[in-house]
């Protein structure tokens, strides 16, 4: 009995230590900021400083933040995208194994392209005609092929 208590105590202490270190790391790394819409969170690590600086000077700075263009609008889509990107961004930044200048992934490019239609649906409709269910990905007009620098240069 006594030995079990002792064992439990040690285990608790070790788990507590792990938890404490984890919690401190989370706070130190401003973990909570990633759940917000504040663009400053995207430059916690300095990789996206250029994009952030570009956005500050862009035409969209007062109407759209990073998440408006780089995350889907619906709750599940938004947070699953944040989780997925968050994991891989952390992974690559920690290991240091990434291409520089950074490049957008295909999935994120699609999300960004779709995001234009959140606000500019009317003008897109005049270009493409009314959206139908048969409309497949390939038929969609790519907004950012031409308007690549509206959010930020590069």
Partner 1 sequence: MNTKSTSKNRESNQQRGGQILKFGLAVGLAALIAIGGLALLVNIMEHKQEAKNPFFRVVELTDDTEDPAVWGKNFPVQYDAYLKTVDQVRTKYGGSDALPKTPTQADPRSIIAQSKIEEDPRLKKMWAGYAFAIDFREERGHAFMLDDQTFTGRQAKPQPGTCMNCHASTYVANKKAGDGDLVKGWEKINPLPYAEARKLVQHAVACIDCHDSQTMQLRITRPAFMEGIKVLKASQGVKDYDVNKHATRQEMRSYVCAQCHVEYYFKGPDKRLVFPWQNGSKVENILAYYDEVGYKDWVHTDTGAPALKAQHPEFEMWSQGIHARSGVACADCHMPYERVGAHKVSDHHVRSPLLNINKACQTCHKWPEEEMKARVESIQASTHELRNLAMDALMDLIDDLKAAKAAGKPDAELAKAQDFQRKAQFYLDFVEAENSTGFHAPQEAARILGLSIDSSRKGQNALRPGAATTTTAAVEKK
Which residues of this chain interact with partner 1, rule CB under 8 A?
Answer: 7, 10-11, 14-15, 17-18, 21-22, 24-25, 28-29, 45-47, 49-50, 93-94, 99-101, 103, 148, 154
Q: Pick the closest to residue 108 from 137, 70, 149, 80 (CA basis).
A: 70
Q: Least distance in Å: CB of 101 to partner 1?
A: 5
Q: Least distance in Å: CB of 14 to partner 1?
A: 4
DSSP H/E element including 151 = none
- 90 versus 123: smaller Cβ distance to partner 1: 90
Distance CA 41, CA 62 (A): 17
- 12 versus 77: smaller Cβ distance to partner 1: 12
Distance CA 116, CA 63 (A): 12
């Amino acid at each position: 009995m006594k030995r079990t208590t002792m064992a439990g105590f040690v285990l608790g202490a070790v788990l507590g230590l792990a938890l404490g270190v984890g919690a401190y790391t989370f706070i130190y790394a401003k973990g909570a900021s990633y759940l917000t819409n504040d663009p400053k969170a995207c430059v916690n690590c300095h990789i996206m400083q250029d994009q952030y600086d570009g956005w500050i000077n862009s035409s969209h700075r007062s109407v759209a933040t990073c998440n408006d263009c780089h995350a889907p609008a619906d709750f599940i889509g938004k947070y699953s995208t944040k989780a997925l990107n968050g994991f891989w961004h952390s992974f690559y930044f920690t290991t240091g194994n990434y291409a520089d200048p950074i490049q957008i992934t295909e999935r994120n490019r699609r999300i960004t392209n779709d995001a234009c239609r959140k606000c500019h649906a009317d003008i897109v409709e005049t270009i493409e005609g009314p959206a139908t269910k048969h409309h497949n990905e390939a038929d969609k007009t790519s907004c950012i092929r031409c308007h690549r620098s509206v959010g930020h240069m590069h």
